[in-house]
Amino acid sequence: MLSWPVLISQAFNGLALGTLLALVSSGLTIILGTLGVLNFAHGALFAVGAYAAFVLLQYTSSFVLAIIVGCGFMLALGFLLERIIIRYFYDRPHEDQILVTYGVGIVLVECVRAAFGGNAQRVPVPSWGQGATQMGFLIYPTYRLQLIAIIAGLLLSLYLVLYRTSMGLVVRAGIENPGMVGILGINVRRAFLLVFAIGVVAVGLAGMLYAPVVAVTPDMGANFMAQSFVVIVLGGLGSFPGAVVGGLIAGEIISLTSAFNSSYSEVMLYALMAVLLIMRPQGLFGSEGRA
Amino acid sequence: MSLLEVDKINTLYGDSHVLFDLSIRVEQGEVVALLGRNGAGKTTTLRSIMGVLSPRSGNIRLDGKSIEGLPPSAIAGMGVQLVPEERAIFGGLTVEENLRIAALTAPNAWSYDRIYEVFPRLRERRKSAGRTLSGGEQQMLAIARALIRDARIILLDEPFEGLAPLIVRDLVEVSRNLAAEGRTMIVVEQNVAAALSFANRVYGLNNGHVVFEGTPADLNASPDLMRDFLGVGM
Ligand SMILES: Nc1ncnc2c1ncn2[C@@H]1O[C@H](COP(=O)(O)OP(=O)(O)O)[C@@H](O)[C@H]1O
Ligand SMILES: [Mg+2]
């Protein structure tokens, strides 16, 4: 029989997973919405982020410093990928875009495997996140609580960038109609470069922050990738609020279902997606008619 | 030298040839109407000028400088502004955000207040999402985005299409005022009478060819032309 503490602690796990999925998915959905490219390398970039944390923490004991340098690395990687590969595929058919990003993902994962081997690596929990926190009758790992707060803060920053800055205005307009953004005098291609890089930083950051609570392996992103697809479909393709709400829903469903029977958790997620798509084909926050 | 010179352009969609050696010119301060039946190539002409389409041959000059081959953003930067047929309002952005994004790269952007003087209705709706606007309000906003950029030449593609007569009357009034203030425009319209009420000069298009050039008075004097090429019974 399930006890309340178990259920509540699973609810917290769901929140941690949900915020993480929200961050991963917002990168995916913004890139899809603006550039029209479904980035199949997103899962690989999650792993690259985790390994960046693993490497950097061997040189510094400051988790924050490692994260900052790691973000710089992800930003550079994002710029590089967009400039030398992705931008040549904006006008190509979706099949080509899927193939090339899938290929990029494989190359990244295999580079990581070649450099670090296939065995799981451990990334230490930051010094300020050690131990567990007592919350009423529940004892919960401190870093996981902090993770929820940190990612919530990151999502809020992303929200502010999208909804309170000119850059965000261009991104939101570009998600609807990139052609018209260009007709209004804005260099869309430059905006695309930034959007891609921001998406890569978001997923890389998720990988870095998550590294201390999971086994870090080259293939760790594959699962997240699949779940993120569900999330952005749930939330509505290209919708940032949709990615956040969809991420939280998906996180809770996976965690709460696994409290009862872990083998059903993914099944429940896909079942929910199917039901929602029948009732609301454009997803929770999607607008109708967007191809 | 004319403000805009379109010189023998040939524009194609894939293999389908749509504009044939098409030439038009627009003087500073002039309103030029581009008339013709559905499918004559009017929208294609405006899209070629804006750089959305690249003509296979020919030349397009603004102030004598060649602009063809440039991306739309660069051409917009030189003061050309298309108000597309489908209006292309950003539905998830508010009215004011639609104006703000239009003004973003304009060196002499108008104030919102000046826009709202032209379109008082937009002031009332300024916090509303684009997708909640009526057709008439969307068209006002589409024109307002060109105005806020202080565009030197505005390309209006069927601005009155599908709107209620009262709204058409208001928009014609606004267009007439803009013309009177010396704003340079090309207007494409099926509503010939409305377009002729503020145009200085007219081009008739048929199957991608210019088949008529003259003043509104010339056109009114040739009902055959109106009937044969423009599909307008007189
Ligand atoms: N995207 C397109 N692809 C292929 N043909 C097109 C496209 N858009 C328009 N056409 C064709 O080009 C011709 C001119 O179209 P258009 O410029 O839209 O005419 P108008 O605006 O005068 O009604 C038409 O025959 C139309 O079918
Ligand atoms: Mg047309």
Q: Is there a contact between B105 and A170 if contact means CB atoms under 8 Å apart?
A: no
Mean pLDDT of the residues in chain A: 93
Query: How far apart are the C-alpha atoms of B21 and B211, rounded to whole Å?
Result: 12
Per-residue pLDDT of chain A (291 residues; tens, 9 = 90+): 578 888 888 999 999 999 999 999 999 999 998 888 999 999 999 999 999 999 999 999 999 999 999 999 999 999 999 999 999 999 899 999 999 999 999 999 999 999 999 999 999 999 999 999 988 888 899 999 999 999 999 999 999 999 999 999 999 999 899 999 999 999 988 889 999 999 999 999 999 999 999 999 999 999 899 999 999 999 999 899 999 999 999 999 999 998 888 888 888 999 999 999 899 988 998 875 443
Task: Give phi and psi for B141, each to the nearest 5.
Answer: -65, -40
**DSSP H helical ranges for chain B:** 42-50, 72-77, 95-103, 112-118, 120-124, 135-148, 165-180, 192-196, 216-220, 223-230
Specify whether B147 is located in the same domain as B157. Answer: no
Final residue before a domain boundary, out of B114, B135, B151:
B151
Q: How far apart, in whole angstroms, are the C-alpha atoms of residue A242 and residue A240?
A: 5
Ligand 1 centroid to Cα of residue B48, in Å, is 12
- Residue A123 domain flag: yes
Q: Which residues of chain B neighbour A175 with C-beta distances below 8 Å? A: 92
pLDDT for residue A1:
58
Count of residues making up chain B: 234
Amino acid sitting at position A206: A
Residue A200 included in any domain: yes
For the sheet containing B184-188, what is the strand order? B80-83, B153-157, B184-188, B31-35, B201-206, B209-214
Task: Give the domain range for residue A61.
Answer: 26-219
Q: How far apart are CA B5 and CA A42, in angstroms?
A: 47
Residues of B engaging A, defined by a Cβ cutoff of 8 Å: 50, 52, 71-73, 76-77, 81-82, 84, 88, 90-93, 97, 100-102, 104-106, 131, 145, 149
Q: Is B123 exposed, middle or buried (0-12, 13-18, 19+ CB in 10 A)?
A: middle
For chain B, which ranges sit under pLDDT 50? 234
Between chain A and chain B, the number of residue pairs with CB atoms below 8 A apart is 70
| Per-residue pLDDT at B153 | 98
Range 139-198 of A in CB contact (< 8 A) with B: 166, 169-170, 172-173, 175-177, 179-188
Which atom, in ligand 1's list, is nearest to the CA of B208? 14
Residues B173 and B57 occupy one common structural domain: yes
**pLDDT value at residue A290:** 46
- DSSP letter at A216 equals B
> Residue B106: its chain A contacts at CB < 8 A?
185
C-alpha–C-alpha distance, residues B84 and B72, integer Å: 13
Ligand at shortest distance from the CA of B37: 1
Q: B149: exposed, middle or buried (C-beta count within 10 Å: 0-12, 13-18, 19+)? A: buried
B130 lines ligand 1 (CB under 6 A): no
In this structure, the answer to whether residues B167 and B190 fall within a common structural domain is yes
B58: left (phi over 0), alpha (psi -120 to 50) or beta: left
- Considering the domain boundaries, does residue A105 fall inside one? yes
Q: Does residue B110 sit in the same domain as residue B27?
A: no
In short, whether B16's Cβ falls inside 6 Å of ligand 1 is yes
What 3-state class would DSSP assign to A89? helix
Residues B106 and B216 in one domain: no
Q: Does B229 lie in the same domain as B160? A: yes
Residue contact B104–A166, C-beta within 8 A: yes
Rounded to the nearest angstrom, the distance between the alpha carbon of B44 and the centre of ligand 1 is 6
Is A179 contained in some domain?
yes
Residue finishing a domain among B126, B151, B176: B151
DSSP, collapsed to helix, strand or coil, labels residue B233 as coil
Together in a domain, B114 and B134? yes
Please tell me the number of the ligand nearest to residue B45's CA: 1
User: What is the tens place of the pLDDT at every residue in A24-56?
Assistant: 999 999 999 888 899 999 999 999 999 999 999
Domain shared by B127 and B203, yes or no: no
Q: Residue B136 belongs to what domain range? A: 86-151
Residues B184 and B220 in one domain: yes
Q: How many domains would you assign to chain A?
A: 1
Matching residue, tokens 């393709």: A237
- Count the domains in chain B: 2
Q: What CATH number is associated with residue B180?
A: 3.40.50.300
The pair of three-digit structure tokens given for residue A237, joined into one six-digit string: 């393709």
Q: Comparing C-alpha atoms, which of A267, A230, A233, A271 is closest to residue A250?
A: A230
pTM for the model = 0.88
